Amino acid sequence: MDLIINLNKPKGITSHDATAKVKKIFKAKKAGHTGTLDPIATGVLLICINKATRLSSYFSSLDKEYKAVMKLGEVTDTQDADGTVLEKSDGIEVDETMIRNILKSFEGEILQKPPMFSALKYKGKPLYKYAKKGVNIPLEPRKIYIHHIEFLNMTVPFICFRTVCSKGTYIRTLCHEIGRKLGTGAHLFELERTAVGPFKVSDSLSIEDLVDIAHQGGIYPVRKKASLELSNGVYSMDNALSWMPGIKIKEPLLNAVKNGAPVRVKDCQDFPHDIKNAENIKIKSPDGELLAIGRLQSDKNIVKMDVVLASQ
């Protein structure tokens, strides 16, 4: 049972604990999430089960969409509502036009310094462990991309906005920087991840939903049908990679692919011309089983295997 779960993470638990719950529900040998959501946050948390854990990097690299509420007038050490207030502003004088303009100023490629209270590692240890001891680690700003940021509504001191951004974007840091630019200070008050690539929160499942599915045996009868979408929110590896183009190989090459050997383009079937622009390619057997993920090396006219999923 190699699945990708679109979990609607509840507020108040870590992504690690949410993943552990899903692992237990499906009695999986392995499970891992594809991008941390802080305990304060809710929404889309993609969880890979068993062999699907080998695909996590393809999901973690997808753009994310968030709906955020920030609170003006308070700066916290964690940049969110769980932290200790460090600064307070008595008077908050803002209007919608000012906020819209400042939000728009963050669109495009920007540099963002990761927060100290984060799971990023320094010398093998998460940054938050240094932060809790008062140790400040010098961090280099990283390039991120804000594709879109949109004002939704406001009831001062609360501002609600939606954003679509690249991997590695910290929304609480974005709120912190917006507050600095407004001159009021701010921190993240509420956060919902509404999408990861094509995975929407409207299609996500709660932990209770997953318990019902597992108890009803809704997954097990179709576990061998690799190309079948199992249910809304629970996907086979093939369907979860819906944005990735695929090719089929000829029967004599099955063992070669399973051993990770590259294959020549001329030995593949159904090879679309526009696949040359694809970053990654699904490699399938003649009957449609997902065997591997590869890359086209057009100069050598071969497809090289990056991740082999099928076993000998």
Q: Among all residues, which ones are annotated catalytic?
A: 38
- Cβ neighbors of 281 (< 8 A, separation 6 or more) are 244, 245, 246, 247, 275, 293, 294, 295, 296, 303
| Residues making up the chain, counted from first to last | 312
Distances (CA, A) of 182 to 69, 93, 304: 15, 9, 50
Q: How far apart are CA 292 and CA 309, in angstroms?
A: 5
User: Token digits for 191?
Assistant: 């956060």
Q: How far apart are CA 210 and CA 51, in angstroms?
A: 19
Which helix (H) or strand (E) is 234 found in, with range? Answer: strand 234-236
Sign of CA dihedral 268, 272, 273, 278: negative
